[in-house]
Amino acid sequence: MKFGYFDDSRKEYVINTPKTPYPWINYLGNQGFFSLISNTAGGYSFYMDARLRRITRYRYNNVPLDMGGRYFYINDNGTVWNPGWSPVKTELDEYECRHGMGYTIIKGKKNGLKAEVTFFVPQNYDGEVQQVVLTNEGSEAKDFAIFSMAEWCLWDAQDDCTNFQRNFSTGRVEIEDSTIYHVTEYRDRRNHYAFYTVNDTIDGYDTDRDAFLGSIYNGWDNPETVKAGKASNSFADGWSPIASHYKKITLAPGESKTLIYILGYAENPQDKKFASEKPANLLTREAWVLNKEKAYAMIDKYNTPEKVAAGLEELRTTWENLLSIYKVDTPDDKVNRMVNIWNQYQCMVTFNLSRSASYFESGIGRGMGFRDSNQDILGFVHQIPERARERLIDIASTQLSDGGCYHQYQPLTKKGNADIGGDFSDDPLWMILSVASYIKETGDWGILDANVPFDDDPEGKHTMLEHLNVSFYHIVNNLGPHGLPLAMRADWNDCINLSCFSDTPGESFQTYTNPKFKAEGGYSKIAESVFVAALFTYTGPAYVGILEHLGKADEAAKAQAEIDKMKKNTMESAFDGDWFLRAYDANGEKMGSKECEEGKIFIEPQGFAVMSEIGKEEGADIKTLNAIDKYLNCEYGLVLNNPAFTKYYIQYGEISTYPGGYKENAGIFTHNNAWIICAEAYAGRGEKAFEYYSKIAPAFTEETSDIHKTEPYVYGQMIGGKDAKNFGQGKNSWLTGTAAWNMVAISQYILGVKPEFDGLRVDPSIPAAWDGFTATRQFRGDTYEITIKNPDHVNKGVKKLTVDGTEVEGCIVPVAGDGKTHQVEVVLG
């Protein structure tokens, strides 16, 4: 069952009922100011950091689920309704929500009155613009009232939802004309404020939540003021400050009225925090006055429909340009819409927000993840390489000089997060992969010389190359008994906690390590990760390539020897006959082996082992891929492990705490499905690669949205696996490494257009039925118009490659570097 449709020409998903199986959301903003907005206009805003600088309040795990943030209410002669249906839930005569590239348009119609609200965050602007167009489509004049509402969060979202003994007494506002300012804690240690304004006169306001609702027993679905058709002009003093504008409107038949609301954020320099005079019309309880110059300028920027239209147009052009860098036209519409629109869009969102704020991530739990953000770069780097570069330097600066890493950092402070600490065994390797992908995209070798400190030597002069070096050797210097990398606290799979042995409720599997390992440095020196071994042999060659390019032949040879050794060790100690083991646990026992009772085979190491060609000469790659198909493949994707764990294995940790089929315990973890898609394509098995791709790519799940539940335009982290009661049900949508990795899988492996150090590789691995496809790729200042022909209907194999009519050996298009458009023709066979 579907709940809407794709409108590809406008790059929108159009939802035609408010009653989606889960809130289907969009993200507004891609620089500093961000908003989440659902199809019923729920959600919230923050500046830079969803935890430390939350602007509007939102209650997670609420009942009903999606409730609060900012809403418009209309009282039309006693009928109270919202353009997005919720929270009042009056049945609408018409409803539509269009989620587009950085904007959302919600339309509602009731009793002949239409309200169309366009929400967006303009480029280079720290505020959400909400343009409301009200049209009387009936045949008689209409008198009605519109109320806005935004509930302020007291800045630190964690404190805001826990520290009520203080927070119920700190709230402060100022009101000037049609603008309500939120100034809690401003006088003292903060220099930032928020405001909510409308570009017209108002007939009243409310700034105290309980006054707006009329009673502490009322919810957002039942605000007394709205029902009474009149604001109470409340002035907040502590408790929960809100901002609500009340406006009376009369519309003749056919007449429209446009109101522009802005929810903004501004910071003042320390010496310009206060205004010297108190205007006569200012409502405040304070002796001091906020300096509002910045707000005035922001309001001025979008206070007419023309200015709003220009802001929207700028946003549209920004996205047109971003999405023109890589574009394809394949025989499959769903592939086209994923590659050309939604997957790239999601890559921007994951790049911006890592795993911090979604409808499954509360914005207070996690900052930016080291491994997550590095991987996000893989799908984003072609869009705005300069931002990727800046990010790489930020992330690398949280690394320690021995190559270890803080697992997370806060975007506002850019400092490693001490609460979670480090010792995740895979972290450093992702840094090699992301820096290499940045160089491959841009040819900017200069990044290697960039000055990048270590967290434990902030003043020291260090280069990015040094960071790659310590990353590589952090693995080499931390091997276990089989010469495989130590698993440490966890690797990519946060839930395989081989040094935890936790038997006490509440101990965090990610931060707790059993005291028995204290003497050994905090984690087992026996437990080894085969996944990290395979990731090392997959990423290591990029490091070697970098050294070779720099003319450091000896260092390159030394690093290559380590990679060769790791492959040998993996084949000798970690190939289980038909697939690769997952790990050795702290007791030295195999994990992910035929010998195990449960969890005999795991997905994670397999793809990277295949792509590293470990044991290829003995057929290990094909055996492994066949085993995945046999044991992990099911209707909705590839499960993470099989059979699922049915009891708690203290030696494995969190993975065995999940009911079978969910999350890391045999859920369909889409992120690592992508690694298998890449590996199948790499091995030339285009059919399988495409089969797996089409099982998880969101556009392909649209028809079964009732089962899949989450948005059909973006990936979620997980789909319930075959052991789950809710088989096929998506969860944790939006913020997942799947976005970047499946962008890599489809664009670089299946469609096969892959930046390399020395040019653009074109080597597709596609379904044999395809006659071919075309692609446009902007690359290092040139544009390549690529035509793939598949006359013999093969999966893979470049028979002939020409650039501007001249045949080129192999399948790498050399960099022209002349800023021109070049025709690339590839014949498969």
Q: Which residues bind ligand NOJ (CB under 6 A)?
A: 355, 369, 371-372, 492-495, 664
Residue 440 binds which entry of ligand BGC, ligand NOJ, none, CB below 5-8 Å type-dependent: none
Minimum separation from the CB atom of position 492 to ligand BGC (A): 9
Q: Is 65 left (phi over 0), alpha (psi -120 to 50) or beta?
A: alpha
Sign of the alpha-carbon dihedral angle for 615, 619, 621, 623: negative
Pick from 66, 76, 69, 132: nearest CA to 105: 132
372 binds ligand BGC (CB under 6 A): no
Residue 510 binds which entry of ligand BGC, ligand NOJ, none, CB below 5-8 Å type-dependent: ligand BGC
Compare residues 351 and 360 and give the one whose CB is closer to ligand BGC: 360
Compare residues 332 and 654 and give the one whose CB is closer to ligand BGC: 654
672 binds ligand BGC (CB under 6 A): no
AA identity, residue 339: V
Minimum separation from the CB atom of position 802 to ligand NOJ (A): 42
Compare residues 598 and 687 and give the one whose CB is closer to ligand BGC: 598
Residue 493 binds which entry of ligand BGC, ligand NOJ, none, CB below 5-8 Å type-dependent: ligand NOJ
Strand-pair partners of 14:
5, 98
Compare residues 422 and 453 and give the one whose CB is closer to ligand NOJ: 422
Minimum separation from the CB atom of position 724 to ligand BGC (A): 14
Pick from 432, 404, 428: nearest CA to 523: 404
Minimum separation from the CB atom of position 722 to ligand BGC (A): 19
510 binds ligand BGC (CB under 6 A): yes
Strand-pair partners of 561:
none
Among all chains, which residue has been given the structure tokens 């700034």?
207
DSSP strands (E only) in 541-646: 583-584, 590-591, 601-602, 633-634, 637-638, 641-642
Residues 534/609, Cβ–Cβ less than 8 Å: yes
375 binds ligand BGC (CB under 6 A): no
Pick from 717, 333, 320: nearest CA to 493: 717
Residue 633 binds which entry of ligand BGC, ligand NOJ, none, CB below 5-8 Å type-dependent: none
Active site residues: 494
Find the DSSP H helices in 411-506. 427-442, 464-476
Among all chains, which residue has been given the structure tokens 């609301």?
261
663 binds ligand BGC (CB under 6 A): yes
Instruction: Name the residue with the smallest CB distance to ligand BGC.
Output: 494
627: enclosing H helix or E strand: helix 620-631
Residue 66 binds which entry of ligand BGC, ligand NOJ, none, CB below 5-8 Å type-dependent: none
299 binds ligand BGC (CB under 6 A): no
Minimum separation from the CB atom of position 478 to ligand BGC (A): 21
Minimum separation from the CB atom of position 675 to ligand NOJ (A): 12
494 binds ligand BGC (CB under 6 A): yes
Instruction: Report the residue from 116, 126, 174, 664 that binds ligand BGC according to the rule CB under 6 A.
Output: 664
495 binds ligand BGC (CB under 6 A): yes
Question: What DSSP string runs through 310-338?
Answer: HHHHHHHHHHHHHHTSEEEE-S-HHHHHI
Residue 730 binds which entry of ligand BGC, ligand NOJ, none, CB below 5-8 Å type-dependent: none
Q: Is 48 left (phi over 0), alpha (psi -120 to 50) or beta?
A: left
Compare residues 638 and 760 and give the one whose CB is closer to ligand NOJ: 638
The SS3 call for residue 79 is strand
Pick from 664, 666, 663: nearest CA to 639: 666
Residue 371 binds which entry of ligand BGC, ligand NOJ, none, CB below 5-8 Å type-dependent: ligand NOJ
AA identity, residue 267: E
Minimum separation from the CB atom of position 28 to ligand BGC (A): 25
- 126 secondary structure, DSSP code: S
604 binds ligand BGC (CB under 6 A): no
Compare residues 183 and 724 and give the one whose CB is closer to ligand NOJ: 724
Residue 210 binds which entry of ligand BGC, ligand NOJ, none, CB below 5-8 Å type-dependent: none
* Burial class of residue 820 in the structure, from the number of CB atoms within 10 Å of its CB (0-12 exposed, 13-18 middle, 19+ buried): exposed
> Where on the chain is the footprint of ligand BGC (CB under 6 A)?
494-495, 510, 654, 663-664
